[in-house]
Structure 1
Amino acid sequence: MSETAVVLVTGASRGLGRGIAIELAEGGYSVAINYAGNRTAAEEAAELCRAAAPNADQKFIPIQGDISSSDSRKAMLQSVLDQFGRIDALVNNAGIAPKVRADITEASEESFEELVKTNLMGPYFLTQVVANHWLEAKPETLKGGFRIIFVTSISSHTASVTRGDYCVSKAGLSMAVQLWAQRLADENIQVYELRPGIMKTDMTSGVTAKYDALIEGGLVPQKRWGTPKDLGLAAKSLIDGDFPFSTGTVIDIDGGFQIRHL
């Protein structure tokens, strides 16, 4: 079995997930780079990870899988075990935005169902698959405990009436963190929530001008966009074990957005 700790990062082919994967690579981890359909982007992410990696024994392998599918979730874990021989941490990053932003008086049930299956059920039950592997197989870990990170959003607590389905899915995911943290607290498995704010990714590329103005106007006290690196640095710190007595903790990666101020 490899002596290098392995992290499965869902949705790691681009955006925030790619930023997390690169920071983990720099930190000496091997990364299973999950992607849904864009193999080319996943290979690009793997190459960037290899370029950042300090150790020759680190591995970066694209792992195809649709987190909204039960069979695919199980196959993803098996692929990681087959390719790497172990799994030490899971980062539940993958998620989707609604295809059409619609007022909640007009939004479709189809969009709601799609977002809940991908953004909430997917990570909730992928966590179940991975946690049960650890509980049943009882493998050794190299980092003094296993780690699970859920990437949520400020939409967990900030209402956007044209993205109700997204907000509900992320609010549910925040509760999932609390549930899994409570269940696994005495099993040497720590669970954390990273809650990003307004982040510069392809998901927000269509609203850049809008948020540029809002950020400059003080919506984000630090007056800048968040980046994939910002999120990656936080994920690496958690997986490194820097917060061993803080399971269930929410860490805001939002430039101070969450501060209530006049």
Structure 2
Amino acid sequence: MTKCVLITGGAGGIGLGCALYFADKGWSVFIADINGEAGRDAAQKIGGADFALTDVASEESVKACVEKCVLRFGRIDALINNAGIADPFTEPLEKLSLERWSRIISVNLTGAFLMTKHCAAHLRRANGGIINMASTRAFQSEKNSESYAASKGGLLSFTHASAVSLGPDVRVNCICPGWINVSGYQTSERDHSQHPAGRVGKAEDIASLAYYLVSDEAKFITGQSFTADGGMTVKMVYVD
């Protein structure tokens, strides 16, 4: 039977890149996204995919999404927790509202928990895998990004904790992307030269890693976090 991947935030960016990549490998793809128009367009673009309008911060919405996926494809072999509020910047820490902090944490971190909770039984039956999409901002920061950094750092800890709880039936790993150009931004030579790999990242760079980590070739890998940033976080930067 064809394997199925459920991708949150799959209507655009890295999520869409993963959806296209897995579909090209012959997997059934189920997209969960809060953007209905983009989600339906993405599912139609892929062909054979399906979509559910989903707010990952709502347990009721998550439960309905998982039920629809299983009804449509009969199984879940992989879950990619990619949905998140992508803008890392908020107002200064002293002015950051609890509402804004809580919303970012609830989508970026609690969303992964809820999806994992409701997919767990299906993933156990499939001996499947989970990918949590964190960020290099789990390790380094700019000003006024506390809530985003905390949510992504939390995903690292959630990854190794859930890997222990769900193992050996389900493997759980985390990817920390760096600068991945999914917005159509016109990159410059300076942008590329910041990376030891010689270029800014593409969605396929993350999708191929996610695919490997849930494949049978990676059966001995669980509870780990992988940085995919073209080497940017290991390059020393000096201010002249």
Normalising by structure 2, what TM-score? 0.90
Deviation at 1:214, TM superposition (A): 6.2
Aligned residue number for residue 179 of structure 2: 198
Letter in 2 for 1:215: D
Counterpart of 1:18, as a letter, is L
Counterpart amino acid of 1:191?
V
Give the CA deviation at 1:212: 5.0
Give the ranges of 4+ consecutive aligned residues of structure 1 lying more than 4 Å apart after TM superposition. 211-214
- Equivalent position to 1:70, from 49, 59, 68: 59
Aligned pairs (5 A) from 1:237-248: 237-248=212-223
Aligned residue for 2:79?
90
State the Cα RMSD in Å: 2.1
Match of 2:23 in 1: 25
Contact 1:8 / 1:90 at 8 angstroms: preserved in 2? yes
Q: Distance in 1 between matches of 2:70 and 2:63?
A: 11
Q: How far off is 1:146 after superposition?
A: 0.7
Residue 181 of structure 1 and its aligned partner are, at CA, apart by 0.9
TM-score of the aligned structures, taking structure 1 as reference length = 0.83
Q: Percent identity?
A: 29
Write the mapping of 1:40-119 to structure 2, written as runs, cut at 5 A.
40-50=37-47, 59-98=48-87, 101-119=90-108
Aligned residues: 237
Q: Which residue of 2 aligns with 1:120?
A: 109
How much has 1:174 moved relative to structure 2?
Answer: 1.0
> For residues 113 and 193 of structure 1, do their structure 2 counterparts lie closer, same or farther at Cα, with a shift above 3 Å needed?
same
Deviation digits for residues 176-220 of structure 1 (CA, Å, limit 9, x no counterpart):
00111111222x211111110011124xx7xx58x85863553x2
| Correspondence list, 1:215-234, <5 A | 215-216=191-192, 218=194, 220-234=195-209
Shift of residue 125 of structure 1? 2.1
Name stretches of at least 5 consecutive residues in structure 1 with no aligned partner: 51-58
Whether 1:189 and 2:170 are equivalent positions in the alignment is yes
Distance (whole Å) between structure 1 residues aligned to residue 222 and residue 40 of structure 2? 33
| Residues 95-150 of structure 1: CA deviation (Å, up to 9, x unaligned) | 00358632223222221110000000110121011114445xxx3x3xxx211110
> Using the alignment, how far apart are the partners of 1:193 and 1:150 within structure 2?
5
2:151 paired residue number: 169
CA contact (8 A) 1:27 1:236 kept: no
Whichever residue aligns with residue 41 of structure 2, its letter is E
Counterpart CA distance in 2 for 1:130 and 1:104 is 35
